[in-house]
Amino acid sequence: MKFYNTIIKYRFWLSLVVIAAAVALNLTGTGFWPVFPLYFVGLIGLLSHFFIGPLRLIQEPMESGNVDEVERILNTIWFPNLLYKPVRSTYYTIKGNLAMMKQDFTAAEKHLKKSTDLGSPMPEAEGANKLQLGMMAMQRGDLKQGENYIRAAIRAGFADKESEAVAYLTMCQIFMNKREFRAAKDFFRKAKACKPTTKQVVDQIKEVERYISRIPG
């Protein structure tokens, strides 16, 4: 695995070296076909560098929380528009999440919208992206767009019950603001049914429950 990651890390430069070696052999009188495998390997390396990129290298630093290394790897992608579509979607998702961590919501929204427009290779990731876009729209006070994004997130699905509970709680709050209390209570029941364990989400459920239990209907 380490050897393969090293190849990916230096793939661009190794490909150039292989192609340069093929050219040098041609110049010394070696025919084209004997060195064709070198040209082929070098070309495949260059194409995979630009069309697939080094995203495989991000897994380890992400798991260890090394955000700086994740950003460094992303910065080696010079032309993201050349990336294969599912890879490009993942690239923009990671860029959006990093921007969220820095509380750069403008950049986060831009990247997540690009990822959503491309379509995620995993529906759960698409759901998480749309949930984040919905939450950012809510922060701007755009309840209509926020509701549309969160509905789309629920349809796409989530990888975890915590995110699903947050989506239903947010819909509950939207409908309480609309004074559509029956729908608000329905979304609240769905949020509780997710049985989240994260303290922040559990506390939010308790807070909403204190208010919603006093509403008739």
In a domain, 217, yes or no: no
Q: Is the pLDDT of residue 96 over 70?
A: yes
Find the domain containing 77 and state its range. Answer: 58-212
Is 121 within a domain? Answer: yes
- pTM for the whole structure: 0.76
One domain for residues 31 and 105? no
In order, the DSSP letters of 127-196 are HHHHHHHHHHHHHTT-HHHHHHHHHHHHHH--SSHHHHHHHHHHHHHHHHHTT-HHHHHHHHHHHHHT--
Pair (39, 71) in one structural domain = no
Asked, for residue 46, whether it belongs to a domain, the answer is: yes
Q: 120 and 199, same structural domain?
A: yes
pLDDT tens-digit readout, 176-201: 888 898 999 999 999 999 999 989 89
Q: Cα–Cα distance between 128 and 86 in angstroms, integer?
A: 16
Both 20 and 66 in one domain: the answer is: no
Q: Whole-number mean pLDDT of the chain?
A: 88
For 94-108, what is the mean pLDDT?
88
Asked whether residue 42 falls in the same domain as residue 135, the answer is no
In terms of domains, do 160 and 139 share one?
yes
Asked if the model's pLDDT at residue 60 lies above 90, the reply is: no
**What's the domain count of the chain?**
2
Q: Within this chain, do residues 17 and 101 fall inside the same structural domain, yes or no? A: no
Contact criterion met (CB below 8 Å) for 110 and 129:
no
Verify that 88 and 23 share a domain, yes or no: no
HSE-CB at 7 with a 13 A cutoff on CA atoms is 11
